[in-house]
Chain A
Amino acid sequence: MGKYEGDPVWDDVVPIPQDDGEGALAAIAYTDEYAEAMGYLRAVMAAKEYSPRVLDLTEHIISMNAAHYTVWLYRASTLLALNSSIPVELEWVNNVALDNQKNYQIWHHRQILIDHLYDSMSSDPAALKSLAESEVAFMTEMFNEDSKNYHVWSYRQWVVRKLDLFDKGEIECIETLLRQDVRNNSAWSHRFFVVFSNPKYCTPGSKATEYDPKIPGEILDREIEFAKAATFEAPQNQSPWNYLRGVLKKGGRKLSSLECFAGEFVKIPEVGEEDIKSSHALDFLADVWAQKGENEKADKALTLLGDKYDRIRKNYWDWRRTSLK
Chain B
Amino acid sequence: MTFLRGKKQRVRFVRRAVAGHDRPNNQQIEQPELCSQGRSDTLDEIFESLFPFVLPGKTASMIPDLFTTLPPIRDLLHTGSSQVQDETIQECLPFLSGLKLDIECNEHGIPHLDRKKHITFLHHSLRNLPAPFVAADASRPWFFYWALSGLVAMGEDVSQYRERLISTLAPIQNSGGGFGGGNGQMSHLAPTYAVILSLIIVGGAEALDIIDRKAMWKWLGALKQPDGGFQMCVGGEEDIRGAYIAAVIITLLNLPLQLSKESLFWSREATLLTNLPEWISRCQTYEGGVSSRPDAEAHGAYAFCALACLSILDDPHIIIPEYLDVPCLISWLSARQYAPEGGFSGRTNKLVDGCYSHWVGGCWPLIEACLDGPSISSGDHLSAPLTSVGHLYSREGLIRYILCCCQEQSKRGGLRDKPSHNSDSYHTCYVLAGLSSAQHKWHFNTSATKTESSGMLTAAYQWTSDPILEYSQIFDEEDRVNTWHPIFAIPEGASERARSHFESKGGF
Q: A-side interface residues toward B, CB under 8 Å?
A: 16, 18-31, 34, 38, 41-42, 45, 64-70, 73, 76-77, 104, 107-108, 111-112, 147-148, 150, 153-154, 157-158, 161, 180-186, 188-190, 192-193, 196-197, 207-209, 232-239, 242-243, 245-247, 249-250, 265, 276-279, 308-316, 319
Most chain A beta carbons < 10 A, residue from B134, B171, B281: B134
Q: Interface digits, B53-83 against A, CB 8 Å rule (1 contact, 0 not)?
A: 0000000000000100000111101011110
Could you mark each residue 151-185 of chain B with 1 if its beta carbon is under 8 Å from any beta carbon of chain A, else 0? 00000000001011101111100000000111111
Q: Is the CB of A69 within 8 A of B138?
A: yes
**In the complex, what's the smallest C-beta–C-beta distance from B154 to chain A, in angstroms?**
18
Contacts of B131 in A (CB 8 A): 28-31
Most chain B CB inside 10 Å of its own CB: which residue of A68, A147, A208, A235: A208
Contact of A311 among B296, B339, B393 (CB under 8 A): B339
The interface centre, meaning the residue of A24, A26, A108, A112 with most chain B CB atoms within 10 A of its CB, is: A26
Whether A27 lies near B287 (C-beta < 8 A) is no
Decide: A309 and B73 in contact? CB cutoff 8 A. yes
In the complex, which of the residues A20, A181, A279, A313 contacts B73, with contact meaning CB atoms closer than 8 Å? Answer: A279
Q: How far is the CA of A26 from the CA of B170 in the complex (A)?
A: 15
Distance, CA A186 to CA B138, complexed state (A)? 28
- Asked whether any CB of chain A lies closer than 8 Å to the CB of B418, the reply is no
Considering the chains assembled together, what is the distance between the CA atoms of A218 and B236 in angstroms?
Answer: 40
Q: Can you list 26 A-B contacts (CB < 8 A)?
A: A18-B182, A18-B183, A19-B183, A21-B167, A24-B164, A26-B144, A30-B134, A65-B137, A157-B296, A181-B79, A181-B81, A183-B79, A189-B297, A193-B295, A209-B328, A234-B35, A236-B75, A237-B349, A238-B335, A239-B348, A242-B287, A242-B348, A246-B287, A313-B393, A314-B394, A316-B393
B285 within 8 A of A: yes
Q: A69-B181, A239-B349, A265-B34 are in contact. List 16 more A-B contacts (CB 8 A).
A: A20-B183, A21-B168, A25-B164, A26-B129, A29-B128, A38-B184, A65-B135, A68-B185, A77-B235, A154-B295, A207-B284, A234-B82, A238-B335, A238-B349, A276-B73, A312-B339
Bound form: Cα–Cα A271–B403 in Å: 42
Q: Are A312 and B125 in contact (CB under 8 A)?
A: no
Q: Could you say which residues of chain B place their CB within 8 Å of the CB of A68?
A: 137-138, 181, 185
Complex Cα gap A145–B72 (Å) = 32
- Contacting B77 at CB < 8 Å: which of A22, A27, A182? A182
B330 at the interface (CB under 8 A from A): yes
Shortest beta-carbon distance, A221 to chain B, in Å? 17
**B412 near A: Cβ within 8 Å?**
no
A contact residues around B183 at 8 Å (CB): 18-20, 42
Contact of A73 among B79, B186, B287, B335 (CB under 8 A): B186
Q: Which residues of A contact B224 (CB under 8 A)?
A: none
Contact A207 B282 (CB under 8 A): yes
Contact B389 A319 (CB under 8 A): yes
Contact with A along B226-237 (1 / 0, CB 8 A): 000000110111
Interface: B439 (CB within 8 A) = no
B436 at the interface (CB under 8 A from A): no
User: Residues 37-64 of chain B: 1 if any A CB is under 8 Å from the residue's CB, otherwise 0?
Assistant: 0000000000000000000000000000
Task: Please tell me if B126 contacts chain A, counting CB pairs below 8 Å.
Answer: yes
Q: Given A192-B286, A234-B75, are A184 and B81 also a contact pair (CB < 8 Å)? A: yes
Interface of A is mostly: helix
A-B contact count (CB 8 A): 251
Contact partner, B184, options A25, A42, A147, Cβ 8 Å:
A42
Cα separation A290 to B73 with both chains bound (whole Å): 24
B338 in the interface (beta carbon within 8 A): yes
B contacts, CB < 8 Å to A: 34-35, 66, 72-75, 77, 79-82, 125-131, 133-140, 143-144, 147, 161, 163-165, 167-171, 180-186, 188, 232-233, 235-237, 281-282, 284-288, 291-293, 295-299, 325, 328, 330-332, 334-335, 337-339, 342, 347-350, 389-394, 397
Which chain A positions have C-beta within 8 A of B350?
A: 148, 185
B133 interface neighbour in A28, A73, A236, Cβ under 8 Å: A28
Please tell me if the beta carbons of A209 and B325 are within 8 angstroms of each other in the complex.
yes
B35 pairs with A26, CB closer than 8 A: no
In the bound complex, how far is the Cα of B168 from the Cα of A22, in angstroms?
A: 7
Closest B residue to A34 using CB positions: B134
Contact A308 B233 (CB under 8 A): no
Report A13 CB to chain B, min CB distance, Å: 14
Q: Is the CB of B126 within 8 A of A25?
A: yes
CA distance A316 to B332 in the complex (A): 11
Is the CB–CB distance between B73 and A278 below 8 Å? yes
Taking a contact as CB atoms under 8 Å apart, the answer to whether A189 and B73 are in contact is no
Instruction: Establish whether residues A316 and B299, one from each chain, have CB atoms under 8 Å apart when the complex forms.
Output: no
Q: Which residues of A contact B391 (CB under 8 A)?
A: 315
Chain B residues with CB below 8 A from A197, complex form: 295
Per the bound structure, the CA–CA distance linking A77 and B236 in Å amounts to: 12
Contact check, A312 vs B180: say whether CB atoms are below 8 A apart.
no
Say yes or no: B167 contacts A24, CB within 8 Å: yes
CB distance from A253 to the nearest CB of B (A): 14
Leading 7 A-B pairs by shortest Cβ distance: A246-B286, A183-B81, A312-B339, A189-B297, A42-B184, A234-B75, A21-B167
| A180-B79 in contact (CB<8A) | yes
Specify the chain A residue showing the minimal Cβ separation from B328: A209
Q: Given A28-B134, A154-B292: A277 and B35 within 8 A (CB)? A: yes
Contacts of A153 in B (CB 8 A): 296-297
Q: Which residues of A contact B72 (CB under 8 A)?
A: 308-309
- Tell me the complex Cα distance, A236–B85, Å: 13
Known: A26-B125, A209-B286. A312 touches B66 (CB 8 A): yes
Residues of A within 8 A of B236 (CB): 69, 73, 108
User: For the complex, what is the distance from the CA of A29 to the CA of B133, rounded to whole Å?
Assistant: 8
Nearest Cβ distance between residue A22 and chain B, in whole angstroms? 4
Closest to A189 in B: B297
Report Cα–Cα, A73/B339, bound state, in Å. 43
- In the complex formed, the residue of B with least CB distance to A207 is B282
What residues on A are CB-neighbors of B169 within 8 Å?
Answer: 21
Docked CA distance A64–B132 (Å): 10
Contacts of A42 in B (CB 8 A): 183-184
Partner of B168, one of A25, A77, A157: A25
| Cα–Cα distance between A208 and B283 once the two chains are bound (Å) | 8
